[in-house]
Structure 1
Amino acid sequence: MGMGNWKRGLIVAFGGLLFLALLLLVLGILFSHFLIDLWWYLSLNFGGYFWLRLLYRYILAGGVTLFFFILFFANFWIASRYLGRSARGRVSKGWIHKFQTGAMEVYTPLSLVMGIILAIPFYQQWEAGLLFFFGPGAGVDDPLYGNDVSFYLFRLPIFLMLQRGLLATFLILFVGVGFLYWLENRVIPVERQEFPEGVRIHLSILAFLSALVLAWGLMLQRFALLYVDDHEPTFYGPGFVEVYYHLPLIWLALLAFLIAAVAFIFYANLRRSLYLVIGITGAVVFLVAAGLRHVTLIPEMLNQYIVKANPVTTEGRFMKNNIEATLAAYRLDGATAVNFEVSQRPETDIGEDVADYINNIPVWDENFLYDVYQQLQGLRPYYRFSPVDVARYTIHGRVQQVNLAARELNLSKLPASVVENWENIHLRYTHGYGVVMTPAAQEGDRPMEWYIRDLTLYSPVGFKIDTPDIYYGQENLTYAIVPNKLEVAELPGTKVTPQQYQGGGGVEIKSLFRKLIAAVYFQDPKIFFSINIGEESRLRIRRNIIERIRELTPYLMIDSDPYVIVTDDRLYWLIDAYTTSDWYPISKPTTLEGREREINYIRNSVKIVIDAYDGHVDFYVADPEDPIIRAYARAFPGVFKPIGAMPHVIQTQLRYPRDFFRIQMQIYAKYHQREPELFFQQADTWDFAKVKDVPKLPYYLTVQLVEKSHPQLQPFVQISPLTPIGRDNLRALAIAGVRDLTEGPYVPELVVYQFKKEVQVDGPAQIDALIDQDPEISAAFTLWNQQGSEVKRGRIIVLPVGHSVLYVQPVYLIAAGETRIPQLTRIIVSMGNVVVMERSLKEAFDRLRQELIAKTMRELELRGQTLEGVNPGAPLLPLPEPAREAVSP
């Protein structure tokens, strides 16, 4: 008997364990996405961040759901005390009876459903709720109401959602509960009954709360005036009509509504005619005030006879508010304007120091250079280069501008038989290899000079990369499982034998359970059954660096130009990220090309570094004054590191990001006019320089451009030529860079060289026309085109040299045929309306100087003067200091 019990107990225990194992397995399969995400975050040392994000989302959404549930349930419970208590009357049946008898099985699920529905907006925008609780003060007040800007960035969006939710709640309750009371006392009974006192109190409280929430909505309407665009294109935000017409009407409507609501509630309970008269009067005043806001006649008359008669006087301070808010929102309030005096003797600006320019002027456009890289250095069908990046490195003791691109894995060119093999895709062809690098300055009709080339990563200037493998990059890579049991083959045609993967990162899948979860996640059973997956194997997912960042920090906007960094150890990706908002008060909204979302506040708050080998991600705070990134840093401690913690070798490659500079220039082109009088006239509005109607986007140069009195910038800046809107002459050169990190912390700087309006300075389109008109250049182009080659001209580089403005344009030849490799053949330079074309920059500068001296001598001869002490064939003259006069912001 005892033995039988023991056996039965063993069977039961075994069955229980088997059931538990099966239950865990089923749960694991059902929650495969959750488990893979959790393991992935843990592999990046972001486990705490994963749980915090999950916790915050459900605490916020759950808290709001609970709040609305309590509101509904409490009111239903109160109503249940009075429903179904009539002594005289017919007994209702069906669903009405359930409500009347106060059945909790009806009120509880109904309250829960209503709570969930009303909490959906908060669940969808839970990160906005996070900012509500963690957002710090910005230290800047809006000029109309005096609220700290953080109120609009963090609080107002939540207040608007909460007001809508509460209004819907109390209106639903008032109508629903009132309908049940009406059925109970007026329809179901045989004889009509009066509402009990408790019912009247309940309905009065609901009506009063509805009125309060509606009044709160009217108060919040005041802030909508900060975002009106009725005065565009002159200025953005509230003006005379909004402040002196709409705002008083909002206050009047608010006061009248509260009086009317309270009066009607008292009348409903006390039945005194005085309250009815007050209520009707308040309602009439409210309707009139609300209606006048939608009547266009009065605002049009105010605008016609007061505003337009004295536009700067009436709207001046509102324009000033818009200018100051917009400059602050786009980080333009610290921009430095500098008057640039253009020399009448440009030949004196081509001196010995011009060699610094020659060595770093980028004569290859990134788009043309990409084709060269791909044709000459792709080397394997499964390699494709990332977009060409611009950088600067210290080479032989000198900072030199270079172009480089990462050789990434791309499987689309492989034969179908290779691609269809699961092991090839996920275990064998798993990564790219190394980079190529060329100097920015090249000579025409000469072979391309390389600083890093081939799969051997040969470098004549001393670059070396211990671990050049690229498992994470800009390609849309599928998952990989490395290391694995497959042998690593030597790269064909080289003596290079890559090592089996030895880095960290990735999701461990050594157990059968983890293999099964991974197989379910990817719906790929080969992961579970493959014999080439060993105990050291790790699953690598989200290998596209943009996808990786968006999964980790979806609340950051990412720059469209990630760039690769070469170190002695390995390769890294550096990506600029932005905190943005569309809630900054009175700031002009804009959109960046290629992006749909409209914003009116942006900060380059974060620099993100991703290890191209193991995928590790680090977030560094580049703008600690930004209140949005401070809020996220509070909410997620340990995720965002100070930029001083960034390794020095990566700090040296920090730069002013492209998208940030471009969006700033879109705004600054108009808002550099800081005085209301000038801003209203818009006589000096700028635009990006254009050539043949194509905007010239900002470009990087490695030259020292800012005068010594200004905080020293690194000699790696971004330049944007700007012209008057509708004109082609050059009006300004905007220059953006970062302070030399040896001088202090990371600080971005923006300097704008402005040319005098009365002095003609050729813009890129005018230089392009001069080149077209030059007989020598035109004849050369015609000859080359007739020889079966296609002539292509690159972008025009504009930069200040001394007192003058220099223009450089490369010329490429592309041979006809299937293999079209651009070849740099000539370089055009221009200064002082003189255009020359030579094979190299040095030859072009020498000839340009001679042509300029000759031109000056001819002009002096016409005036009966001579140019003494100048020999056109003499060595280059020293470069004088340019005469510049600081302009007060």
Structure 2
Amino acid sequence: MTKGKKVISILIAAFIIGTLFFNEIILFITDLQWFQDLGYERVFLKKIQTQLMLGVPIFFLSGFFYYYYFRFMKNRYEKKIASFHQTVSNKTINRWLLLPASLMAFITATSIAGQYWWQLLTFRHQVPFAINDPVFGNDLAWYFFTWPLLREGLGTFITLLFLLVLITAIFFGAMVFLRRPTLVEVSEGENPRTQMLNRFLSFGAGNLVVLGVLFFLTTGARFFVSLYDILYSPQGAVYGASFTDIKVNLPLYRIQMVVSVAAALLLWLGYQKKKKKLMIAAPILLLVVSILGQILSIGVERFMVEPNVLARETPYIERNIAFTRKAYNLDDVYEMEFDVDYRLTREDLEKNPQTINNIRINDYRPALESYNQLQAIRPYYQFKDVDIDRYTINDEYRQVFLSARELNMDRISDSAKTWLNMHLKYTHGYGAVLSPVNQVTTQGQPELFIRNIPPVSMIDKEITRPEIYFGELTNHYIIVNTDEMEFDYPMGEDNAETRFEGEAGIELKGINRALYALRERNFRIFLSGSISGESRIIFDRNVMDRVTKIAPFLHYDEDPYLIIHEGSLYWMMDAFTLGDKYPYATPYMEGNKNYIRNSVKVVVDAYHGTTDFYIAEPEDPVIQTYSNIFPGLFQPLEAMPEGLQQHIRYPQEIFDIQTVVYERYHMSNPSVFYLDEDLWNIAQERYSGQFQPVESQYMIYSLPEEEKEEFLLSVPYTPNRLNNMVAKLVARSDGEHYGELVLYRMPKDRNIYGPRQIEARIDQNERISQSLTLWGEGGSEVIRGNLLVIPVENSLLYVEPLYIRAANSESPPEVKQVIAAFGDDIVMENTLEEALESLFGAGPPSIPEEDDVPEEALPEEVIEEDDISEESPAERPEETPSYDFTDATVQEIIQEANRAFDEAQRASQQGDWAAYGEALNRLEEALRRLESQ
């Protein structure tokens, strides 16, 4: 071949490759620039480097193997056939063999490199757990990082063997075409065609026997690897290796290993000695051993284990309990008895002001509706969710709701959805709202500490950088620093405009404009006169997509939460390391996962887009392994700014998993555990008319043994099929105690009201049930919020807010009343302060006997005539004039009935029976009018 032809061939090959992989090349270049912009190009290149280091040698080695395998088969074919028509020369065929060999090598190399690059990295950089499994004595790192590589590698090798069988058949057909056999002269009485067929079979059989030998040897290796499957066996009394697994299945795997090797030898010997029975005996022997082993396993389980499970399985149950607790980080739960009493007084409340002042009477779901109705300001703004956090506000530790006002491009009118508006003009959300959990307005809406556009703060927290370029709804690319000014925020009939002052994004100079026009499939990027070389394109702005793209090997909490720090907005996310190879640990997560750690905290700047990963659990061997793979990706938690560290919280996602696991795994005694004698359930509450498991809740209160209030996440437990509270699991989030789990066990000698029992007593309270019925008339919806169980001193206080959603109205629910319960007393008042006053202000609440807490509320006290004192005219409330119902609507009648009912309550509490009678008359008239509508 001349030099010119070689150049043309190379150019043609380059053109074909470029055409086939054009999109991949564009994505590779632009993604590399994206990672470089964030300072993580080494993370991006690590995958490419590893795949090349793995794929290139495999390509050449496998290509060499395939080529000489094809040549070996060709030569063997020619030798076996002996006589054939030679239509193509040997040199030409050998040259042609390079093409299928190269194609097969490319497929093999890319599939192996693409599948095994991550397993190879974790294998090379693995960190020991310093915990050994109780059966084989291996460090658990072997099961996380080495064993999966062996399993999948053997599986791939078997796949390649089947592929070789297919290739052999195809190649045989090709050789028949290229080397068409001719009939040869044979001795008298022998059929030439039969002789040729025997030669064909001889050629094919030899190849298949070699592959069969390799298959049986690989099967023996797989049985060796499968030995460790018994550590994850579900067939016994508990998850993990059971009595039958250890006594029967483990020896069976070892026997199958030996038989597989013996089968390979028998197959080869049978072929060499031309003894078909010996060859057939190989797979039959392996099949018989497997069937007999399964029969023996079933027999031992049924006749030895099932009649006496506890005696046989106790050691394995103990292992399951211990390893499941370790896997879910429940092996160090601090347990203590919480000796609940009912002696809480007004003085006790005054000694715990932060606990009382942080009792949540607003729920995040109605709060979200309120934010979107009252603070969205414009249709294109949206509050996606409400985050729960705590701040020191005006020197007071407060629990708050916080939500970002993001720009939702789907809400922009269709006429405004031009390319310029979508990508150059409307670039960011603006500001946030913050409200305390314990305060509402007179209209029952959240009291906003930070509100409006631009943000107006009523507290000592300011938002000076309110623009949100990176968030939960930022799902489209933008181009900044263009000739077009960016929309900043609405300002009356006009709009304020701005320019992005950060450093995020990739400059669109040189070839970049063409690259990103191709990436986004929009040539306006290339042709627009508004874009210059100083303009920058910013993409992957959704915080979840952003962190997942950088570190896809972590599992992320679905709820990023907003933080205000030094006037700027940040997103914090919890990231978890997961695994499915923790021996003896019962899986409780999707994908059969049975290991989890909250090892990483991620912080994303909402304005600049900088993304930082901090190791929150450095003792986790999995995150240590990842850190070894990607040096520079993770920082120690101490490197996080202190102001951000103050907002680290124990994540609900891992806590909810732990609470479900602990329903059963709080039991330590194998007998009690197996029989489920002390099984717990997460307590139930009524929310919005339906019973559901209590949602884990962030609250601020002080633990019984602590003097200072903390930001805590907790959930109550009840015994199986019962509703009294038996325990409360608490996760700590503040300071040096972050991550600690504390279990408070309730007294066993008396009933401690569970949430569902309190809900039932609310339903049984005549005054409350009448009010709920009244408010539900006329189509209005009554929403019962979360029932909070709040420890105060050695007592438990229960609080539940009530919301009213007006019929045929788009207005958000309003906090109407607050129900509070303590001991046997339940009250419903307009505010939490009034409810606590009713419980503790006029005198000590009724205290049930410690050994006998009644299940139902005590009857209301009868007020003696002598106890009623005359009020002076100045003390008597002003009389409310009668209401004219002539032209009143149904809604107005309901509102008047509510007012009459409230006044009747107040009059009853104050002993003003004249006003009480007048209010009842007005209520009766309102109900009569309502009935006639």
Instruction: State the TM-score bracket (shorter-chain normalisation).
Output: 0.7 to 0.9
Task: Check if 1:620 corresponds to 2:614.
Answer: yes
Q: SS of the residue aligned with 2:776?
A: helix
Which residue type is aligned with residue 214 of structure 1?
A: T
In structure 1, the partner of 2:907 is: none
Task: Go from structure 1 to structure 2 and tell me whether the alpha carbon gap of 1:683 and 1:859 turns closer, same or farther (over 3 Å shift).
Answer: closer
Task: Check if 1:322 corresponds to 2:320.
Answer: yes
Report how far residue 776 of structure 1 moved.
2.0
Report how far residue 198 of structure 1 moved.
14
Q: Is the 8 A contact 2:427 2:469 kept in 1?
A: yes
Q: SS of the residue aligned with 1:585?
A: coil
Q: Is the 8 A contact 1:84 1:100 kept in 2?
A: no
Deviations 1:16-44 (A, max 9, x none): xxxx99x9999988833222212211111
In structure 1, the partner of 2:9 is: none
Report how far residue 859 of structure 1 moved.
11
CA distance in 2, matches of 1:857, 1:69: 84
Which residue type is aligned with residue 600 of structure 2?
A: V
CA distance in 2, matches of 1:281, 1:201: 18
Q: SS of the residue aligned with 2:130?
A: coil
Deviations 1:362-405 (A, max 9, x none): 21111010011111111112111130011111112222111110
Q: Is the 8 A contact 1:80 1:101 kept in 2?
A: no
Task: Go from structure 1 to structure 2 and tell me whether the alpha carbon gap of 1:134 and 1:29 turns closer, same or farther (over 3 Å shift).
Answer: closer
1:220 is aligned, of 210, 213, 225, to 225
2:434 is aligned, of 434, 437, 449, to 437
In structure 2, the partner of 1:17 is: none
Report how far residue 443 of structure 1 moved.
5.0
Report how far residue 714 of structure 1 moved.
7.8
- Residues 689-708 of structure 1 aligned to structure 2 (within 5 Å): 689-691=683-685, 692-705=690-703, 707-708=705-706
In structure 1, the partner of 2:513 is: 515
Q: Is the 8 A contact 2:490 2:496 kept in 1?
A: no
1:829 is aligned, of 793, 811, 820, to 820
CA distance in 2, matches of 1:70, 1:161: 23
Task: Go from structure 1 to structure 2 and tell me whether the alpha carbon gap of 1:797 and 1:571 turns closer, same or farther (over 3 Å shift).
Answer: same
Which residue type is aligned with residue 430 of structure 2?
A: Y
Q: SS of the residue aligned with 1:856?
A: coil
Task: Go from structure 1 to structure 2 and tell me whether the alpha carbon gap of 1:673 and 1:498 turns closer, same or farther (over 3 Å shift).
Answer: farther
Task: Go from structure 1 to structure 2 and tell me whether the alpha carbon gap of 1:102 and 1:263 turns closer, same or farther (over 3 Å shift).
Answer: farther
Which residue type is aligned with residue 749 of structure 1?
A: E
In structure 2, the partner of 1:3 is: none
Which deviates more from structure 2 when the two are superposed, residues 631-640 or residues 399-408?
Answer: 631-640
RMSD: 3.8
Task: Check if 1:790 corresponds to 2:770.
Answer: no
1:402 is aligned, of 400, 403, 406, to 400
In structure 2, the partner of 1:243 is: 246
1:817 is aligned, of 808, 824, 832, to 808
Task: Check if 1:288 corresponds to 2:288.
Answer: yes
2:82 is aligned, of 78, 89, 94, to 89
Task: Go from structure 1 to structure 2 and tell me whether the alpha carbon gap of 1:659 and 1:230 turns closer, same or farther (over 3 Å shift).
Answer: same
Report how far residue 215 of structure 1 moved.
0.7
Task: Go from structure 1 to structure 2 and tell me whether the alpha carbon gap of 1:98 and 1:435 turns closer, same or farther (over 3 Å shift).
Answer: farther
Which deviates more from structure 2 when the two are superposed, residues 424-433 or residues 250-259?
Answer: 250-259
2:726 is aligned, of 700, 722, 731, to 731
Q: Is the 8 A contact 1:790 1:813 kept in 2?
A: yes
Report how far residue 612 of structure 1 moved.
0.4
Task: Check if 1:603 corresponds to 2:597.
Answer: yes
Task: Check if 1:153 corresponds to 2:144.
Answer: yes
CA distance in 2, matches of 1:30, 1:112: 19
Task: Go from structure 1 to structure 2 and tell me whether the alpha carbon gap of 1:669 and 1:25 turns closer, same or farther (over 3 Å shift).
Answer: closer
Which residue type is aligned with residue 422 of structure 1?
A: W
In structure 2, the partner of 1:14 is: none
2:383 is aligned, of 375, 381, 385, to 385
- Residues 846-857 of structure 1 aligned to structure 2 (within 5 Å): 846-849=837-840, 853-856=844-847
- Residues 460-471 of structure 1 aligned to structure 2 (within 5 Å): 460-471=458-469
CA distance in 2, matches of 1:54, 1:143: 39
In structure 2, the partner of 1:423 is: 420
Task: Check if 1:574 corresponds to 2:565.
Answer: no
- Residues 657-668 of structure 1 aligned to structure 2 (within 5 Å): 657-668=651-662
Which residue type is aligned with residue 536 of structure 1?
A: E
2:671 is aligned, of 667, 677, 680, to 677
1:755 is aligned, of 746, 751, 763, to 746
Report how far residue 448 of structure 1 moved.
3.9
Q: Provide TM-score, normalisation by structure 1.
A: 0.84
Which deviates more from structure 2 when the two are superposed, residues 130-139 or residues 562-571?
Answer: 130-139
Q: SS of the residue aligned with 2:601?
A: strand
Task: Go from structure 1 to structure 2 and tell me whether the alpha carbon gap of 1:849 and 1:214 turns closer, same or farther (over 3 Å shift).
Answer: same
Report how far residue 503 of structure 1 moved.
0.6
CA distance in 2, matches of 1:687, 1:623: 29
Q: SS of the residue aligned with 1:486?
A: coil
Q: Is the 8 A contact 2:780 2:804 kept in 1?
A: yes
CA distance in 2, matches of 1:441, 1:329: 37
Higher RCO (C-alpha under 8 Å, 6+ residues apart): 1
Which deviates more from structure 2 when the two are superposed, residues 344-353 or residues 630-639?
Answer: 344-353
Report how far residue 75 of structure 1 moved.
3.9
Task: Go from structure 1 to structure 2 and tell me whether the alpha carbon gap of 1:676 and 1:525 turns closer, same or farther (over 3 Å shift).
Answer: same
Q: Is the 8 A contact 2:425 2:487 kept in 1?
A: no
CA distance in 2, matches of 1:674, 1:485: 69
- Residues 45-124 of structure 1 aligned to structure 2 (within 5 Å): 45-79=39-73, 82-85=76-79, 89-91=82-84, 103-106=94-97, 109-110=100-101, 112-113=103-104, 116-117=107-108, 120=111, 123-124=114-115
Q: Is the 8 A contact 1:737 1:748 kept in 2?
A: yes
Which residue type is aligned with residue 481 of structure 2?
A: P
CA distance in 2, matches of 1:604, 1:859: 41
Larger Rg over CA atoms = 2
Which residue type is aligned with residue 89 of structure 1?
A: A
In structure 1, the partner of 2:537 is: 539
CA distance in 1, matches of 2:23, 2:251: 61
In structure 2, the partner of 1:722 is: 717
2:830 is aligned, of 834, 839, 852, to 839
Identical positions, percent? 31
CA distance in 1, matches of 2:850, 2:441: 33
Task: Go from structure 1 to structure 2 and tell me whether the alpha carbon gap of 1:407 and 1:566 turns closer, same or farther (over 3 Å shift).
Answer: same
Q: Is the 8 A contact 1:582 1:599 kept in 2?
A: yes
Which residue type is aligned with residue 60 of structure 1?
A: L
Task: Check if 1:656 corresponds to 2:659.
Answer: no
CA distance in 2, matches of 1:25, 1:285: 53
Unaligned runs of 5+ in 2: 1-13, 187-194, 854-933
Unaligned runs of 5+ in 1: 1-19, 863-889
Task: Go from structure 1 to structure 2 and tell me whether the alpha carbon gap of 1:731 and 1:265 turns closer, same or farther (over 3 Å shift).
Answer: same
Which residue type is aligned with residue 440 of structure 1?
A: V
Q: Is the 8 A contact 1:714 1:738 kept in 2?
A: no
Task: Check if 1:562 corresponds to 2:560.
Answer: yes
Report how far residue 815 of structure 1 moved.
2.4
CA distance in 1, matches of 2:665, 2:181: 67
CA distance in 2, matches of 1:26, 1:287: 47
Which residue type is aligned with residue 519 of structure 1?
A: A
Report how far residue 733 of structure 1 moved.
1.0
Report how far residue 722 of structure 1 moved.
1.9
Task: Go from structure 1 to structure 2 and tell me whether the alpha carbon gap of 1:344 and 1:384 turns closer, same or farther (over 3 Å shift).
Answer: closer
CA distance in 2, matches of 1:857, 1:241: 53
- Residues 15-34 of structure 1 aligned to structure 2 (within 5 Å): 31-34=25-28
- Residues 586-597 of structure 1 aligned to structure 2 (within 5 Å): 586-591=584-589, 597=591
In structure 1, the partner of 2:880 is: none
Deviations 1:133-166 (A, max 9, x none): 2222222111122111111111222211211222
Deviations 1:789-810 (A, max 9, x none): 4322111111222222221111
Task: Go from structure 1 to structure 2 and tell me whether the alpha carbon gap of 1:29 and 1:217 turns closer, same or farther (over 3 Å shift).
Answer: closer
Report how far residue 428 of structure 1 moved.
1.4
Report how far residue 252 of structure 1 moved.
1.6
CA distance in 2, matches of 1:176, 1:647: 60
Deviations 1:171-211 (A, max 9, x none): 6557976998999999978477999x999999987655433
Q: Provide TM-score, normalisation by structure 2.
A: 0.80
Q: Is the 8 A contact 1:339 1:756 kept in 2?
A: yes
In structure 2, the partner of 1:259 is: 262
Which residue type is aligned with residue 286 of structure 1?
A: L
Which deviates more from structure 2 when the two are superposed, residues 816-825 or residues 442-451?
Answer: 442-451
Task: Go from structure 1 to structure 2 and tell me whether the alpha carbon gap of 1:68 and 1:724 turns closer, same or farther (over 3 Å shift).
Answer: farther
Q: Is the 8 A contact 2:358 2:399 kept in 1?
A: yes
